Amino acid sequence: MLDILRSLLGILVLVLICYALSAHRKKIDWKLVGTGLLLQLVFAILVLKIPIVKKLFEALASIFVVFLDFTKEGSRFLFGKEMIDNIPAYGYIFAIQVLPTVLFFSAFTSMLYYLGVLQKIVYGIAWIMNRTMRLSGAESLSAAGNIFLGQTEAPLLIKPYIEHMTRSEVLCVMVGGMATIAGGVLAAYVGFLGGTDPVQQQIYATHLLSASIMSAPAALVASKMLLPETEPEKINTEIHISKDKIGANLLEAISNGTSDGLRLAVNVGAMLIVFTALIYMVNFVLQNSIGEWFGLNDLVKEFTAGKYTHFSLQFILGMICAPLAWLLGVPYADMMYAGQLLGEKTILNEFYAYTTMGNFKLNGLMSERGLIICTYALCGFSNFASIGIQIGGIGALAPNQKSTLAELGIKALIGGTVACFFTAAIAGLII
């Protein structure tokens, strides 16, 4: 009961944060806010509590697990069967075990887009949000598209409309991109959160898939509170998906998807190398200067009962974000570790945070409830680097909106983060 009350308090606090930061408080459509949160709650109950729907999503999640096996076959061909199958001997090699899934899922998503399958699924989800939340057609399509596509790929669905969008619509597109993840990286997260156990892989695939879908209406709620629509006369509620193809034929579409996946995989690998090195560098300074000079290393070890052995960036992030983790429903014993994950996701990226979370899970440092709530809270691209990615990616589709994208960058980051936290808090109610 206390966990439920805590999650409800967390939802209320998040609503108050959006209200406080709103550009036009009197223009907030409270019916939209209530409908969006209700959609999240209903979906969470269906997926996590209703047996028939739960089994359906578990079946969908199992497809991701099967696809991981398909990816392994390609990896075996390239790297050799012994290296892929003999994890105990070689250890879990991130570049070989995880990044290939990004390549395959990027190519597969591109193939579904070319065939028009993805557009039909996106249209159905967009239609529901358009009718229930009274949004523009472009906003609904972009939010639904972000469930499957990345933050610069989903806007392709609404390319003809972007240059004529209002500021509120532009923010909606940006927040939607930051609040969800793409199919390719979702498969990667399944791989290293579930490890080599198919059962664990299916469990985390179900939660990650649920989180990405739940965060779509949450993104709309957050963005419409932060920047309510003030030009309703310009809104076009019709839903039309752009007919732009991503290749002249199926083979070119797969090739283009593979190339995009390669760039993403290399980018992810490079960021993890650099960010990990930078964190070790910062921690070296914190531990051997401030921590040692002022006796903070021993104080940190005593204060955290050995969870943190010295003054570090992880400890600082854990302290700052622990109250947020508590509001989301994370057990008290997991607060520091969960706070660290939330901080890493925002300052660095969700890939680094999920990697850390995978280590916590492997070493038994967090409870199952804490891990699941964090799975939902981290499931989005809301970090500082995404601001630049969106300005470049969306701005290329509509150059006249670049200044608006730049102005709304921080607000989009806040909206995307809040949307992920809405999803985590609602999951905390149901789990």
Count other Cβ atoms within 10 Å, centred on residue 91.
9
Percent above pLDDT 90 for the chain: 42
* 406 CB burial (10 A radius; 0-12, 13-18, 19+): middle
How many Å apart are CA 84 and CA 76, to the nearest integer? Answer: 6
Q: Mean pLDDT across the stretch 212-220?
A: 91
Domain that holds residue 186: 2-430
pLDDT in the model for residue 244: 64
Higher pLDDT, 184 or 319: 319
How many Å apart are CA 120 and CA 140, to the nearest integer? Answer: 13
Tokens of 287: 């531990």
How many Å apart are CA 190 and CA 195, to the nearest integer? Answer: 8
Whole-prediction pTM? 0.87
Does residue 31 carry a pLDDT above 80? Answer: yes
Does residue 235 carry a pLDDT above 80? Answer: no
Tokens 């808090």, residue located: 425
Phi, psi of 161 (to 5 degrees): -100, -20
Q: Where is average pLDDT lowest: 158-172, 188-202, 411-425?
A: 188-202
Residues 376, 212: contact at Cβ < 8 Å? Answer: no
Collect all residues with Cβ–Cβ distance below 8 Å to 141 and sequence separation of at least 6.
Answer: 122, 123, 126, 157, 158, 239, 241
Mean model confidence pLDDT for the chain: 86
Q: Mean pLDDT across the stretch 12-41?
A: 94
Does residue 371 carry a pLDDT above 50? Answer: yes
Higher pLDDT, 248 or 183: 248
Counting other chains too, the contacts that 252-260 makes at CB distance below 8 Å and 24 or more residues apart are 253/110, 253/111, 253/113, 253/114, 254/107, 254/110, 254/111, 256/110, 257/106, 257/107, 257/108, 257/109, 257/110, 257/111, 258/103, 258/106, 258/107, 258/110, 260/106, 260/110, 260/153
pLDDT in the model for residue 89: 45
Q: Mean pLDDT across the stretch 99-126?
A: 83
Collect all residues with Cβ–Cβ distance below 8 Å to 79 and sequence separation of at least 6.
Answer: 96
Closest CA to 245 of 156, 152, 126: 156
Does residue 237 carry a pLDDT above 70? Answer: no
Does residue 91 carry a pLDDT above 50? Answer: no
Centroid of chain to Cα 285: 31
Closest CA to 136 of 110, 171, 101, 185: 171
- Sign of torsion, CA 188 189 194 195? positive
How many Å apart are CA 401 and CA 40, to the nearest integer? Answer: 30
Give the total number of structural domains in the chain.
1
Distance of CA 25 to CAs 21, 224, 235, 408, Å? 9, 10, 20, 17
Does residue 24 carry a pLDDT above 80? Answer: yes
The 3 state secondary structure assigned to 116-131 is: CHHHHHHHHHHHHHHH
Q: What angle do CA 390, 396, 397 make, to 5 degrees?
A: 100
Higher pLDDT, 338 or 150: 338
Q: Mean pLDDT across the stretch 380-402?
A: 88
Closest CA to 377 of 10, 6, 3: 10
Q: What angle do CA 52, 56, 61 make, to 5 degrees?
A: 145
Centroid of chain to Cα 59: 22
Does residue 341 carry a pLDDT above 50? Answer: yes
Centroid of chain to Cα 162: 23
Higher pLDDT, 67 or 409: 409
DSSP-based three-state secondary structure for 240: coil
DSSP 234: G
